[in-house]
Structure 1
Amino acid sequence: MDAYPVVAEVSSFLGTPADELDASLGAEKRAALRTAVGELNAKAATGDPAAFYGQQLLLSRLYGLSMQLPEGPSAEGSLALQEVLRLLEQATMAAEDAMLEPGILDAAPAEPAAFLSWLKKSARAHRVYKHPYYREFIRDRATADDLRNYVIQESVVDGRFDDLLALMQVGTGGAAKLEIAGNFWDEMGNGEPAEVHTHLFNQIFRVFDISAEEMERSLTANALLSGNLAVLLCRYRHLYAEAVGFLGMTEWLAPDRFVQVVHAWERLGLPDVGIVYHKLHITIDSRHAAGWFHNVVVPAAESERMRRAIARGTLWRLNSSARYLDERMPDPAVH
């Protein structure tokens, strides 16, 4: 952030009431902020790691305005911050689209069942499928500290999956709404407070004594990106189909990954309370993925526009997850 002071500057605005903030920022200052954020985005697009981190950290903090209940005054609703937010979102989406294989979205078959098969085949052929980070490192080599770092990075999606589903189902109907709602109710522990999945996930933080401050400080740029993409796709109605692909693939990949996490947890003899979430999701996410594919993806795939968008969201998830897991792989000399 030292290299890109706009990150700290915009972050300092977040606790100022929106109307007060907008009144204090004149046209010249708002233009300067847009320019600085544009420069940050341009540097991130060249592969500058500090710019990419600053970009995703700032986007995550801005999303926090609408994803968390404030403890005091909040800049949520600020027009100036909305301009910054949109620039960050546009750059993030453009970067993901630039990483798509040319012509891949045109290759999807039109018939819904064939389209679903194509999605799964594409995932199985992707290098992220059964990634060695889970199948080799986490399962057999990870230490307790490695697992501690793992759950910090995973918190950006797993720690708020219920809220993502709540956002996503707005405006839907029929079988799709029922599927998303049923998925959400499972995340809510089917009405049992002690079994709410975010509560169970948070038990891991207690096992490792992880604070909220440490979590943000420890998140990598690619971990922040994973969380930001999920929020981005779920909060906007015009990106609903991309969210269908993104979250559906997230749930489909989770069971095999979590089997490896449970194996490592038990291998290390860590407290049972911390692994309940992962054990549950090995079976629940298998069921959720099947229901999601058949009740959400297949009906939507009747539309060419929806098919293309679902494929886009699916590939964003596969590609971003691969980059995230690649960086999680340790130096062979260290382990």
Structure 2
Amino acid sequence: METGAEVSGQAGLAPYPVVEEVSSLLNRPADEIDASVSLGERADFSTRVSELNAKSAAGDPAAFYGQQLLLSRIYGLVTQLPEGPTAEGSIVVQEVLRQLEQATIAAEDGMLESGILDAAPAEPTAFLSWLKKLAKEHRVYKHPYYREFIRDQATADDLRHYVIQESVVDGRFDDLLAMMQVGTSGAAKMEIAENFWDEMGNGDPSQVHTHLFNQIYEVFDISPDELERSLTANALLSGNLAVLLCRYRNLYAEAVGFLGMTEWLAPDRFVQVVHAWDRLGLPDIGIVYHKLHITVDSRHAAGWFHNVVVPAAESERMRRAIARGTLWRLNSSARYLDERMPELASHR
């Protein structure tokens, strides 16, 4: 088994050297990488990434962390503007990326209840009701991490850690919407556009939602380097799933389910965060984002369901894919929240 130095984001876990070896390529020009990495080295990368994926699937927490950390770093090539050369477009890196993505997809699909996608009603409005019922009956719905711990027990340090973990989705929701809308048309494109324009502060730079979210970093003095070091494997997974589904056109319907459920669950969760923020007397500037999204996301979710989900649900293929993305969100969110409260998760 490969060993290495301790990973800060997952205390006590040792990363696999292949994670850092591939990561070291990411700030090199793509053509240079593809010209300098031999076929033998490419095969070696493939073998070791396959081993990493297999160990992750077998329940090795260090492998799961390394898998999601590397996937997150490679996704940074298409979600961040570079300051210099990058590996974007490299065949070598693309091969590793597809291995990581395929393993992540297989893991999420493996956690779906047998036959659940076949149970979806064919009539669009009945399908929407069925999706909401799935969520309400899922253990993630009104999870005690928010309604008990965050609301009434969390300290300022707990909220600081919470904000870091949430950054992988909330901190770039506008970019996720921008990626997923490519190729859409009609009511769906207009709904995504309206959602995106709200994220853009309706044209006011000071009200752009990612800017408002970043103000929380200022309250807690969180640096970009600390963000990656402190992310858990399940937090990284949440962000990776969002990018995966929004980036690929063949996974558009899954993105519809994933992001729609994200917005539908957010208002109740954010009410608890606001309560905790006020309870602790933290600076008002840091909670503007959450207060705003209590009302905005309720409206967005309603519009999303009726203008994006219902029209798409005329198609059996789209229904199955939307349900798949919805369940990926529910299941991954449940695991992410359970790990925040292990003493509760063991009794649920």
Question: Where on the TM-score scale, by shorter chain, does this alignment land: which range?
Answer: over 0.9
Unpaired stretches in structure 1, ≥5 consecutive residues: none
Aligned to 1:307: 319
Deviations 1:269-310 (A, max 9, x none): 000000000000000000000000000000000000000000
Secondary structure (helix, strand or coil) at the match of 1:119 reads: helix
Distance 1:296 1:330 in 2: 36
Aligned to 2:299: 287
Secondary structure (helix, strand or coil) at the match of 1:110 reads: coil
| CA RMSD in angstroms, aligned pairs only | 0.8
Aligned to 2:118: 106
Distance 2:328 2:341 in 1: 20
- Opposite residue 251 of structure 2, the aligned amino acid is L
Aligned to 1:186: 198
Q: Deviating runs (4+, > 3 A) in structure 1?
A: none
Aligned to 1:154: 166
Deviation at 1:247, TM superposition (A): 0.1
Residue 236 (structure 1) aligned with residue 251 (structure 2): no
Distance 2:152 2:341 in 1: 13
* Count of residues in correspondence between the two structures: 332
Which residue of 7, 28, 32 maps to 2:40?
A: 28
- Opposite residue 209 of structure 2, the aligned amino acid is H
Normalising to structure 1: TM-score of the pair? Answer: 0.98
Deviations 1:298-332 (A, max 9, x none): 00000000000000000000000000000011658
Distance 1:300 1:31 in 2: 41
- Opposite residue 121 of structure 2, the aligned amino acid is P
Distance 1:328 1:167 in 2: 30
Secondary structure (helix, strand or coil) at the match of 2:338 reads: helix
Aligned to 1:277: 289
Distance 1:125 1:331 in 2: 21
Secondary structure (helix, strand or coil) at the match of 1:142 reads: coil
Deviations 1:229-277 (A, max 9, x none): 0000000000000000000000000000000000000000000000000
Residue 94 (structure 1) aligned with residue 101 (structure 2): no
Distance 1:92 1:152 in 2: 22
Aligned sequence identity (%): 83
Secondary structure (helix, strand or coil) at the match of 1:276 reads: helix
Aligned to 1:85: 97
Aligned to 1:195: 207
- Opposite residue 312 of structure 2, the aligned amino acid is A
Task: Within 5 Å, give how 1:240-251 maps onto structure 2.
Answer: 240-251=252-263
Aligned to 1:177: 189
Aligned to 1:256: 268
Distance 2:312 2:97 in 1: 29
Residue 225 (structure 1) aligned with residue 237 (structure 2): yes
- Opposite residue 322 of structure 1, the aligned amino acid is A
Deviation at 1:26, TM superposition (A): 1.2
Distance 2:59 2:297 in 1: 34
Aligned to 2:59: 47
Aligned to 1:205: 217
Unpaired stretches in structure 2, ≥5 consecutive residues: 5-14
Deviations 1:136-186 (A, max 9, x none): 000000000000000000000000000000000000000000000000000
Task: Within 5 Å, give how 1:66-81 maps onto structure 2.
Answer: 66-81=78-93
